[in-house]
Structure 1
Amino acid sequence: MIQLSEMLAPRPEPLWKLVKQCGVDTVVATLNGAEQDQRMFASVGKDGFVGAAADDTPWSEAAIARDIETFADHGLTTIAIEDTAPMDKVRLAQPGRDEQIDNVITQVRAMGRLGIRTLCYNWMAISSWGRTSTDTVGRGGALVTGFRASDSEGLPPLAEAGEVTEEQLWAGLQYFLDAVIPEAEDAGVRLGMHPDDPPRAIGRNVPHIMRSPDAYRRLMALKPSPSNAITFCQGNFALMGEDLPTLIREFGARDQIAFVHFRDVRGTADDFVETFHDEGQTDLPECMRAYAEIGFSGPMRPDHVPTMEGETNERPAYGTLGRLFAIGYIRGLEHAVYGKPSRRRSERAAGTQQR
């Protein structure tokens, strides 16, 4: 049984009540002022980050515990974190990376003590997910994000040509895994690597190494461990050009999927738009059947949804109405494939009585 969740920053807003009204009680959290929180929710402004006092960094146990308590006060349980301390020196194998790794270890140890078992991270150096449009008109006039390689050529580079290499990024990743995975094992925490978004060889002079299923096979071989796992972001894996249900079954058979971003796209890695969940190019019901077959029971959340009528587009891909639509769609697939919770309970009880 999946754990249908939503990604929320630990600053209360009306969406918290809305997701609970849709039956979602578990949270994938960003950390108040950490790397992803700043990159994704920059419109909040740094003055809005209430958890980042000088002596109480966002990835400390005290700060994470306070975030958990904030969610709990609203009836929400934190089951995963999708954020870390800044990591670019680690990704780029630069001086100062040991301090950044120590910060991640501090977070992982805190998560273990606080009972949070899943950490989503990425290897996108210098940048976050990239788009060339955040207001492409989609179905019924909804606004969706998109990417076109030809439109990205005029964007300012993030590094000088050749300054960052694939070998550098892989070396940084190996160093990171060697240091952090043993700590994660001790803490009982699984690290799920998110794909580069979009999964192209290079973007604005920065290579992307987590861009193919083969890259994930290599990642798993670098440090075999239950704590070295995958965030299976369906939109990005769909753009890699392989069949999603087949990949789910492959990685799932080895219990390598820790976390799922359930979303869809239309197009290729060089030219795509994001879509409503029911209109993309992927057979999402078959994906859900694949998750059931592998016995996946981890966190799953919707991701990257359209901005709908009556909403501003201040947070492209993270509008409220699109997220509620997605929650309903995923819940419907879950019940169709896994069965309604009441039926599952009855079947388990019947099985126990028969034994």
Structure 2
Amino acid sequence: MLPPSPDRRWTLAKQMGVDRGVVRFWGVDDWWEYDTLLRTRNRFEDNGIRLQVVEDRPPMTRTVLGKEGRNEEIATVKRLLKNMGKLGIETYCWVWTENPVGVLRTSDSIPDRGGSLKSGYDHEWSRRADDHPESGITEEELWENLEYFLDEVVPVAEEAGVKMALHPDDPPLPSVRGVPRLVTSVDNYERILDLHESPNHGVTFCQGNFAAMETDVRSAIRRLGDRIHFVHFRDVEGSAESFVETWHDDGPTDMRACIEAYRDVGYDGPIRPDHVPKMLGEEDRDGAHAGYTDMGRLFAIGYMKGLLEQTA
């Protein structure tokens, strides 16, 4: 995953042989507008990287909560999808979570091999926090709001030729700080996919979240099959209630078998490493969650390349 303008990460990616990119627009206003996407897409192209995935979300709090103003938010998502289609950007990674209770970690300093530092989550600490102000919303309302959203945007994605890839809730718990969550199990994913039998409505298969669901990751890959549009390659040890993010080569999941499962279902789309330990001398970036430092990601890319060659 790269920022929208060239920096050290772009150079490292090119030196590692990366030629396809995933972008997140940290700190960029109105990034979904055509001209911003156009300049970003061409910036990647001019540096020898094809921009393949937008991994970001315009403001959607009112949409998730079903509040007044959601139609205006949905119009922005439609504009994003249309602009991506015009520019040949294939995949849109999004989440169905109320932003203030999105990705949560309770520690970013768990020691591991050689003094590297991992991140993790312990639900006991979240239970002690105050409930979120929107804790009164029900699971049924979230389902209704999600169906309303999909009814509006999936036809636009189809017309634009863009694949929508829904990321799991992280952590994949049924409720966090009083707010229900839906994208927390393979069964719920299948229910969500059944809302629209469209090849443009699919999954960001974040392996760490599926591992935290305490499901067999390989079986989940095969169950979701051709609805997988994007992959986050990572692993965790533990459950959704309490987990630690591991080195890519040191978690409980058979990562080679996962690559084989993707090949078995015919997946040949984008895949990126995710959530790595922090190594000697590294600092977290402003605005980024723990897990986005550089050296661990370089290790992960090399590891992934080796797995891909082994299973070719």
- Using the size of structure 1 for normalisation, the TM-score is 0.84
Checking the alignment, whether the CA contact within 8 Å between 2:174 and 2:181 is kept in structure 1 is yes
**Matching residue's letter, 2:8:** P
One-letter amino acid of the counterpart of residue 247, structure 1: A
- The partner residue of 1:59 within 32, 36, 46 is 32
Give the match for residue 45 of structure 2: 72
Residue 52 of structure 2 contacts residue 270 of structure 2 at CA under 8 Å; is this kept in 1? Answer: yes
1:130 matches 2:104: yes
The answer to whether the Cα contact below 8 Å between 1:149 and 1:271 also exists between their aligned partners in 2 is yes
Deviation of 1:160 (Å): 5.2
Which residue is equivalent to 2:231?
260
Residue 90 (str. 1) matches residue 84 (str. 2): no
- Aligned counterpart, 1:279: 250
In the alignment, the residues of structure 1 paired with residue 90 and residue 202 of structure 2 have an alpha-carbon distance, to the nearest angstrom, of 12
C-alpha distance in structure 1 between counterparts of 2:191 and 2:112, whole Å: 36
Question: Which consecutive residues of structure 1, in runs of 5 or more, have no partner in the other structure?
Answer: 1-6, 32-36, 38-45, 339-355
Q: How many angstroms does 1:285 deviate by? A: 0.6
CA contact (8 A) 2:57 2:95 kept: no
Structure 1 position 143 matched with structure 2 position 117: yes
CA contact (8 A) 1:8 1:28 kept: yes
Gap regions ≥5 residues in structure 2: none
In the TM superposition, residue 70 of structure 1 has moved relative to its aligned partner by 2.1
What is the CA-CA distance between 1:296 and the residue it aligns to?
0.6
| More displaced stretch, 151-160 vs 232-241 | 151-160
**Amino acid paired to 2:300:** A
Q: Which residue of 1 aligns with 2:10?
A: 16
Equivalent positions of 1:202-281 (< 5 A) are: 202-252=175-225, 255-281=226-252
Distance in 1 (CA, whole Å) between partners of 2:224 and 2:250 is 25
Q: 1:92-125, CA deviations, whole angstroms, 9 ceiling, x for partnerless residues?
A: 1111000000000000001111001110000111
**1:63-106 residue CA offsets vs partner (Å, 9 max, x unmatched):** 10111122223222101111121111111111100000000000
CA distance in 1, matches of 2:231, 2:109: 25
Q: Distance in 1 between matches of 2:196 and 2:88?
A: 23
| Correspondence for 2:259 | 288
Q: Which amino acid aligns with 1:178?
A: D
CA distance in structure 2 between the aligned counterparts of 1:141 and 1:207, rounded to whole angstroms: 36
Extract structure 1 runs of 4+ deviating beyond 4 A.
Answer: none
Residue-by-residue CA offset, 1:28-50 (whole Å, 9 max, x unaligned): 1113xxxxx3xxxxxxxx5xx3x
Contact 1:159 / 1:204 at 8 angstroms: preserved in 2? no
Equivalent in the alignment of 2:269: 298
SS at match of 1:8: coil
Write the deviation string for residues 254-282 of structure 1: whole angstroms up to 9, x where unpaired: x1100000100111111110011001111
Write the distance in 1 (CA, Å) between the matches of 2:134 and 2:81.
Answer: 33
Partner of 1:188: 161
Count of matched residue positions in the alignment of Structure 1 and Structure 2: 308
2:284: which partner in 1?
313
What is the CA RMSD across the aligned residues, in angstroms? 1.2
Identical pairs, percent: 44
Once the 2 structures are TM-superposed, how far is the Cα of residue 192 of structure 1 from its aligned partner?
Answer: 0.6
Q: Distance in 2 between matches of 1:126 and 1:330?
A: 31
Residue 321 of structure 1 and its aligned partner are, at CA, apart by: 0.1
Aligned to 1:25: 19
Taking a change above 3 Å as real, the CA distance of residues 159 and 208 of structure 1, as seen in their structure-2 partners, is same
| Equivalent position amino acid for 2:277 in 1 | P
- Cα deviations by residue, 1:230-266 (Å, 9 ceiling, x for unpaired): 00000001111111111111211xx110000010011
* Partner residue in 2 for 1:349: none
CA distance in 1, matches of 2:114, 2:238: 19
